[in-house]
Amino acid sequence: MDFLNAVVALANFVLIPATAYGAQLALGALGVTLIYGILRFSNFAHGDTMAFGTMATILVTWALQAAGISLGPLPTALLALPAGIAITALLLLGTDRAVYRFYREQKAKPVILVIVSMGVMFILNGLVRFIIGPDDHRFADGARFLIDARTFREMTGLAEGLAIRTSQAITIVTAVVVVALLFWFLNRTRTGKSMRAFSDNEDLALLSGINPERVVAITWIIVAALATTAGVLYGLDKSFKAFTYFQLLLPIFAAAIVGGLGNPLGAIAGGFLIAYSEVTITYAWKKVLTYLLPDGMAPEGLVQLLSTEYKFAVSFVILVIVLLFRPTGIFRGKSV
Amino acid sequence: MKPRDMALFALVALLILGTGYLQSWNAALNILNMGLISAIMALGVNMQWGYAGLFNVGVMGFVALGGLGAVLVAMPPVGESWSAGGLRVLFALGIGVGVIVGAIQLWRRMARGALRGLAMVVWLVAGFFVFRAVFDPAVAAIEAVNPAATGYLGGLGLPVLFGWPVGALLAAGAAWVIGKTALGLRSDYLAIATLGIAEIVIAVLKNEEWLTRGVKNVIGIPRPVPYEVDLQADPGFVERAAGFGLDPVTASTLYVKLLYAGLFAIVLIALIWLSQMALRSPWGRMMRAIRDNEVAAEAMGKDVKARHLQIFILGSAVCGLAGAMMITLDSQLTPASYQPLRFTFLVWVMVIVGGSGNNFGAVLGGFLIWFLWVQVEPFGAFLMEVLTSGMAADSALRAHLLDSVAHMRLLTMGVILLLVLRFSPRGLIPER
């Protein structure tokens, strides 16, 4: 029995990756939940918005790398991120102008907007594949590890190593900063308050002189920032592939719904809940259990509850359980 | 149908005939066959969305289950695998179902409180480990039997046509489970739930090698029509082909495709007839009344939830049928080829463009969108060739543009969907 090594192995293979993944999902879910709160529809194009933002950032990163600019140990993509966000914001404002505004003025039913967002999804998906292709791209540069496994072992003398990748550390730090900024904006600034007012009661907000078009435009800009950041962090952590981002739609929506659609705090909680469950259920526990159990009782198999391919099933099952027992999510969401 | 609708169908027929004259008759028949299957999928989605307003974005899952049905019926059984672990796998699955049923009973019978929650968790966790303890060795045994050629249980070895209703039943069963849990919830939740179940179905098909051979694919599924090589070896056929002025190879491929087209057309016509009858019957009017005003329909004593469940199962079964037919046409099951954009969202484009709520609209959309899906790529390549002809031959941008033409179809589908939604929101043949 070796408690310390078990804790280190657990942190290395479960806690750190799941926290990074949870932060990425939370940022994605925040975007979904904001659109739902302000524009009142589920945006199926969100995964592809993330892909587009990441693609824009990658292109700028390549340009910076070609110009010989880098951030030293940090990935160049962080420097390119504001540009990526700006490009994505322009794209989203453009689609709102060309597509969504028409239905908003008509007061179309939310489900029509969902179908419209399916059309936007096709276009963004095609656009991303057209520009950067359907292949895998790795664009992380700079130092790979904050602490690598070998240094940790030498430092502590433990048998297990603990590695923290730069991308994971950056993900967590960036997510904290972005979420803090978002909540400060929503709760403290005039514009943020007007957004919340609009989300709570549209008619009352209009009566008190809030300009709906301005609220919508700001929402799209914030969504562009959230989606691009989430996408770039995910891409730095794993890799960029258009189809993977499309598939992220499911865990992101699960996170937003589990937390309560329209509730930003819920989106964050949902993101971490989904991420931790996915990673713990698809992780092979053999190593940790071998340390924890007395000698001779170590498990023979991998003790993996489900193979990694079934990770979608995990988000799905959590979603269904929450919906059955608490249909508006853990934190009360809204329903239209 | 009005004259305008007839004209639209004539246009689609012209497009397919044009493909025959300009490209090849094999290409035209390929489009026709998949168009027929697409039309059936569109009919299924139209039942759910057009009649009842149910938002199902898990079409891919039901289509794939239909394909699984065809495999399970048509492939010859692998006796060695069955004796290695077939019964054990069935026993394990029985345990799995028993655990779930037991959990539901436990939940219903026990009094509310922490004890019930605890009992549930203990029961489920224990059940899961018992299930895995029986299931895993059986699966390992099956997959060890000649993995290069079989490594799975095989099917029943019956004619593949029996697989079509079985595929529909499998899809209907899945729809029942989803409908029971998700239909009472809001439309967005149903959408996400179906999206999830479709991904899970594909994950199962990809990973449960004992059932489907996973990514090793099931190939050579027996066909309901003769094989080309047999036809070419048949002197009578060669003679008749020569009578049409065709060489035996072309003639045999065309003949086989025409037979498929005939089979599919029979199914499609039967389905159109049935759904037209259903839509015009009191049942159809009730469905549309529920769609348009659930509260009023409920006040009139209609059981909205049961009706929704019914139509959800029916529509999914039709999608499953189409999936089984597609597997029959391809003679193979390739789980990795199921992509949501192609099998879920494209079918939605078909229904919306064709006209939701109108069976003929959905069928027209199926043919038209499938034609465009196939033809946008060569047309886009031609267009791009012309557009970039001014650039230098070794220009990197030109090479990139020409390479990327393949992705034009997604873009085109999105543009078509948005244009139709904007300027003709009720589709080409609107509901009447």
Query: B263-303: per-residue pLDDT in tens?
Result: 999 999 999 999 999 989 999 999 999 999 989 999 999 99
| Nearest CB to B192; choose among A120, A131, A253 | A253
Looking at the structure, do residues B133 and B169 belong to the same domain, yes or no? no
Looking at the structure, do residues B284 and B396 belong to the same domain, yes or no? yes
Structure confidence at residue B192 (pLDDT): 84
* Nearest C-alpha neighbor of B146 from the set B75, B216, B221: B216
Distance CA A115, CA B204 (A): 28
Bridge partners (DSSP) listed for residue A165: A145
Q: Does B408 touch chain A (CB under 8 A)?
A: yes
Residues 54-73 (A) with a CB less than 8 A from some CB of B: none
Question: Which of B410, B413, B426 to mutate to test binding with chain A, by most A CBs within 10 Å of its CB?
Answer: B410
pLDDT tier, B397 (very low <50, low <70, confident <90, very high otherwise)? confident
Structural domain includes residue A334: no
Looking at the structure, do residues B227 and B301 belong to the same domain, yes or no? yes
Instruction: Count how many Cα atoms sit within 13 Å of the Cα of residue A308 in the half-sphere of its side chain.
Output: 5
The answer to whether the CB atoms of B341 and A246 lie below 8 A apart is: yes
Average pLDDT score over chain B: 91
* Nearest C-alpha neighbor of A325 from the set B55, B306, B101, B184: B184
pLDDT tier, A290 (very low <50, low <70, confident <90, very high otherwise)? confident
Q: Does A185 touch chain B (CB under 8 A)?
A: no
* Nearest C-alpha neighbor of B191 from the set B295, B59, B294: B59
Looking at the structure, do residues B302 and B395 belong to the same domain, yes or no? yes
A102, closest residue in chain B (CA to CA): B422
Q: Whole domain around residue B396: which residue ranges?
A: 3-77+154-423
The answer to whether the CB atoms of A319 and B203 lie below 8 A apart is: no
Q: Does B415 touch chain A (CB under 8 A)?
A: yes
Between these two residues, B297 and B149, which has the higher pLDDT value? Answer: B297
Structure confidence at residue A277 (pLDDT): 93
Distance CA A39, CA A115 (A): 14
Structural domain includes residue A257: no
Amino acid making up residue B77: P
Between these two residues, B186 and A195, which has the higher pLDDT value? Answer: A195
Q: Say if residue A83's pLDDT is above 80.
A: yes
Looking at the structure, do residues B129 and B165 belong to the same domain, yes or no? no
Structure confidence at residue A216 (pLDDT): 95
Looking at the structure, do residues B180 and B231 belong to the same domain, yes or no? yes
Structural domain includes residue A293: no
Structural domain includes residue B216: yes
Distance CA B366, CA B350 (A): 5
Structure confidence at residue A335 (pLDDT): 53
Amino acid making up residue A276: Y
Distance from CA of B186 to the nearest CA of A (A): 8
For range A34-40, the mean pLDDT: 91
The answer to whether the CB atoms of A121 and B187 lie below 8 A apart is: no
pLDDT, tens only, A165-204: 999 999 999 999 999 999 999 999 999 999 999 988 888 9
For range B134-160, the mean pLDDT: 88
SS (H, E, C) A71-85: ECCECCHHHHHHHHH
Do residues A320 and B182 lie in contact, with contact meaning Cβ atoms separated by under 8 Å?
A: yes
**CATH code of B213's domain:** 1.10.3470
Looking at the structure, do residues B132 and B161 belong to the same domain, yes or no? no
Q: Does B373 touch chain A (CB under 8 A)?
A: no
**In A, which residues are within 8 Å of B186 by CB distance?**
327, 335
pLDDT tier, A7 (very low <50, low <70, confident <90, very high otherwise)? confident
Which of the residue ranges A186-195, A248-257, A323-332, B223-232 would you say has the lowest mean pLDDT?
A: A323-332
Sequence-ordered strand ranges (E) for B183-244: 218-219
Distance CA B37, CA B32 (A): 9
Q: Does A113 touch chain B (CB under 8 A)?
A: no
* Nearest C-alpha neighbor of B31 from the set B16, B13, B14, B9: B16
Which of the residue ranges A270-274, B13-17, B96-100, B154-158 would you say has the lowest mean pLDDT?
A: B154-158
Structural domain includes residue A322: no
Looking at the structure, do residues B307 and B404 belong to the same domain, yes or no? yes
Structural domain includes residue A140: yes
Structural domain includes residue B51: yes
Token pair recorded at residue B335: 């789980």
Q: Say if residue A1's pLDDT is above 70.
A: no
Looking at the structure, do residues B62 and B137 belong to the same domain, yes or no? no
pLDDT, tens only, A299-334: 777 788 888 888 888 888 888 888 778 877 888 766
Structural domain includes residue B430: no
Please classify residue A83 by burial: count the beta carbons closer than 10 Å to its beta carbon, then call 0-12 exposed, 13-18 middle and 19+ buried: middle
In order of A155, A323, B63, B398, the CA distances from B273 in angstroms are 76, 38, 22, 50
pLDDT, tens only, A133-171: 888 988 888 888 888 888 888 888 888 888 889 999 999
pLDDT, tens only, A106-139: 988 888 999 999 999 999 999 999 899 888 988 8
B346, closest residue in chain A (CA to CA): A122
Distance CA B348, CA B336 (A): 21
Distance CA A6, CA B412 (A): 53
Distance CA B376, CA B367 (A): 14
Element (H, E) at B251: helix B248-280
Element (H, E) at A332: none
Looking at the structure, do residues B265 and B412 belong to the same domain, yes or no? yes
For range B184-192, the mean pLDDT: 79
Compute how many other C-beta atoms are within 10 angstroms of the C-beta atom of residue B230.
10
For range B221-230, the mean pLDDT: 90
Distance CA A290, CA B325 (A): 50
Q: Choose the final residue of a domain: B153, B182, B206.
A: B153
Q: Whole domain around residue A71: which residue ranges?
A: 23-249
Q: Say if residue B338's pLDDT is above 60.
A: yes
Structural domain includes residue A304: no
Q: Say if residue B97's pLDDT is above 70.
A: yes
The answer to whether the CB atoms of B187 and A253 lie below 8 A apart is: no
Most trustworthy range by pLDDT among A7-11, A106-110, B89-93: B89-93
A131, closest residue in chain B (CA to CA): B404
Do residues A24 and A234 lie in contact, with contact meaning Cβ atoms separated by under 8 Å?
A: yes
Looking at the structure, do residues B57 and B200 belong to the same domain, yes or no? yes
Query: What is the percent of chain A with per-residue pLDDT over 90, rounded to a whole number?
Result: 55
Q: Say if residue B262's pLDDT is above 60.
A: yes
Q: Say if residue B381's pLDDT is above 90.
A: no
Split into its structural domains, chain A has a count of: 1
Backbone angles phi, psi at B427, to 5 degrees: 90, 180
In order of A44, A254, A323, the CA distances from B188 in angstroms are 10, 11, 12
Split into its structural domains, chain B has a count of: 2
Which of the residue ranges A150-164, B40-54, B379-393 would you say has the lowest mean pLDDT?
A: B379-393
Distance CA B427, CA B420 (A): 7
Do residues A119 and A87 lie in contact, with contact meaning Cβ atoms separated by under 8 Å?
A: no
**In B, which residues are within 8 Å of A327 by CB distance?**
185-186, 189
pLDDT tier, A336 (very low <50, low <70, confident <90, very high otherwise)? very low
Q: Say if residue B79's pLDDT is above 90.
A: no
CA dihedral (B264, B270, B276, B279) in degrees, to 10, reads -100
Reported pTM? 0.93
Structural domain includes residue A280: no
Question: Which of B48, B199, B377 to mutate to test binding with chain A, by most A CBs within 10 Å of its CB?
Answer: B199
pLDDT tier, A85 (very low <50, low <70, confident <90, very high otherwise)? very high
Distance from CA of A97 to the nearest CA of B (A): 13
Structure confidence at residue B257 (pLDDT): 95
Most trustworthy range by pLDDT among A35-39, B335-339, B366-370: B366-370
Looking at the structure, do residues B188 and B307 belong to the same domain, yes or no? yes
Distance CA B184, CA B304 (A): 9
For range B357-370, the mean pLDDT: 95
pLDDT tier, B388 (very low <50, low <70, confident <90, very high otherwise)? confident
Structure confidence at residue B386 (pLDDT): 84
Q: Choose the final residue of a domain: B131, B153, B175.
A: B153
Q: Choose the final residue of a domain: B118, B153, B188.
A: B153
In order of B46, B182, B187, B308, the CA distances from B302 in angstroms are 21, 19, 19, 11
Structural domain includes residue A221: yes
- Give the pairing of strands A164-165 and A145-147: antiparallel
* Nearest C-alpha neighbor of B9 from the set B348, B277, B413, B361: B361
